[in-house]
A and B are shown apart, each in its own frame.
Chain A
Amino acid sequence: MFIRSLNSEKIKIQWYFFFLLIICETLINSFLSFIAVGQDFALNWNNFYTYAANFHSMFFFPLLAGLFTTLLYRYEHNNSNWKNILTGSIPKHYIYLSKMIWVFLFLIITQLFFFLSYFLIGQILGAEGTLPLFSIFKSLIGGIIAIIPLLALQSWISIYIKNFGASLVIVLGLIIPNLLLTGMHSNLGGWFPSTIPFYTMMPQGTQFSPRVDLFSLYIIVAITSTVYILSGSISFRKREW
């Protein structure tokens, strides 16, 4: 029955628009990393990754998580489609969870695009040394796991926010403070869900590296994800439509 809910969600998605957003993100991030690299003369794959992941993990990746969620919820808030799908014979929280899973899949695609653009721009700039595939892989997966708390929180908020503009303001409001929050140690900053992708994606041992304790960070991720997902699906079920 859950598969049916996922498939039904799939029909609503405006694929071209979601991919357009991903491509825009990739282009803008590539451009910014390209500029940032400008002063660096000894460019190798390792330090180029730091440049590329910096903006992506701090702003764009969490931003897309918020945008995708908002868009999927917009379909239902517009023209009050809740009444239509919630009177079907399907458990209410299935709908909530399917939306989250679709956003999650799109975020995985975003990570792939990010990797491709990193590889291409690196080639163009003539990055030296060997491609640190293993640590990149770790960083990409880390980003995907780290986005879960934000995704869950954003879904929870989106249940209540009908207005698209208001929803965007909240998305930005969650992400812009990252500039300051990511300066804190992960034990503290990790409680703010928007910061976690930065902590897990940025390579260690560079001048830009955040102070991270991975073990405690993943515990924070597990705790906040569980809390947000549970509270979200409970309030979704209880909400009066």
Chain B
Amino acid sequence: MDEYIIKTRNLTKKHGNVTSVNSLNLEVPERSIYGFLGPNGAGKTTTIKMLLGLIKPSNGNIEIFNRDLLKNRSSILSKVGSLVESPSYYGHLSGYKNLEVLATMLDIKKSRIDEVLRLVRLTKEAHKPVKHYSLGMKQRLGIASALIGEPKLLILDEPTNGLDPSGIQEIRELIIEMPKQFGITVMVSSHLLSEIDAMATHVGIINEGKLVFQDKLDVLQNKNKSQLYLEVGNSKSAYSQLRNQGWEVDHNSNGLLVNSICREDIAKIVESLVLEKNLIYKVNEHKRSLEDIFLNLTKKGQSL
């Protein structure tokens, strides 16, 4: 599974002096659901627009299906389906006609239109004008148009933005089915960690244009492990003492964080600290949520 469907090297986008995407090295494995996570304005959409050839990178290169995007734009894009930001649609046309516009342009047989409509459960509303659709239906239509060319890669930018819980659930189920049923690799962006947590197999976290984390979702979840928090009199000396004894420790101004909560370890740590005349005020379990990790990685916690 080390085959990467999307691979970027030093992908950079500058608008004048502002660098909105900075030396991104994305690696999206085949048949994964890659969650592309970051706060609003982190550069997610800009990155996705570059992956789709809508805007040109200032620097770096993009390989999709192991081929250079700029040199093989048409042939690569014929196997990529996408949904960028808000759904695109012709309001005066029916859902069916909307898909027909794309099918005609991309030389796709008409029977495929019914297929994708069924897939996103819009068969009943197919012949109503799209301007009367609800946001959720428009979004499903957007996914149908992304799927119409039987893509091998699906790139979805905030596909659940603005939807109600049941709409979110529907889209989520659709996305999870993609790799299983059709062998499609999905890249999905979101600013909500819970969203990515519910769907993704791999995660990339972007903040201020830089990739701050990229790995399997499990790795991120493992950071979620509980830690032992000790409030001590002199954290510096306690820190170096535990360090010397070989514990995995972190320290801040008045406390220590130990990466172990096994009962025997706690007893040993407390004992050794007390023997060295370190004052202990508090011992408790510290659980980091994924949200904490996310905020920590994106450093938004500090600015609030």
Contact = CB atoms under 8 A, between A and B. Distances in A.
Interface in A13-28: 14
Nearest to B55: A240
B102 A8 contact: yes
Contact of B101 (A11, A83, A87, A240): A11
Contacts of B55: 240-241
Interface string A65-106: 000000000010011111111111111000000000000000
A4 B56 CA distance: 26
B87 A8 contact: no
Contacts of A89: 73-78, 106, 149
How many B residues are at the interface, by size bracket? Answer: 20 to 34
Contacts, number: 86
A113 B64 CA distance: 51
Contact of A84 (B78, B80, B88): B88
B172 interface: no
B49 interface: yes
B102 A81 contact: no
B91 interface: yes
Given A85-B105, A89-B106, A11 B100 contact: yes
Contact of A83 (B75, B78, B85, B92): B85
B97 to A, nearest CB: 6
B89 A12 contact: no
A202 to B, nearest CB: 38
A166 to B, nearest CB: 20
B54 A83 contact: yes
Contact of B56 (A75, A82, A87, A240): A240
A11 B94 CA distance: 11
A85 B89 CA distance: 10
A1 B107 CA distance: 8
B106 A90 contact: yes
Given A11-B97, A90-B106, A83 B90 contact: no
B244 to A, nearest CB: 56
Interface in A41-86: 75, 78-86
B54 A12 contact: no
Contacts of B73: 89
Looking at chain A's contact residues, the main secondary structure is helix
Most buried by A among B75, B105, B106, B145: B105
A7 interface: yes
B122 interface: no
B100 A79 contact: no
Most buried by B among A5, A86, A89, A91: A89
Most buried by B among A4, A8, A86, A87: A87
Contacts of A87: 52-54, 77, 80, 82, 84
A177 B84 CA distance: 42
Contacts of B245: none
Given A4-B107, A85-B102, A80 B97 contact: no
Interface in B96-121: 97, 100-102, 104-107
B93 interface: yes
B187 to A, nearest CB: 14
Nearest to A80: B88
11 contacts: A7-B104, A79-B86, A82-B54, A83-B49, A83-B54, A85-B105, A88-B149, A89-B149, A91-B74, A240-B49, A240-B55
Interface of B: 49, 52-56, 73-78, 80, 82, 84-93, 97, 100-102, 104-107, 145, 149
Given A79-B88, A90-B74, 14 more contacts: A4-B106, A8-B101, A11-B97, A11-B101, A12-B93, A81-B89, A82-B54, A83-B52, A87-B54, A87-B84, A88-B77, A88-B106, A89-B73, A89-B75
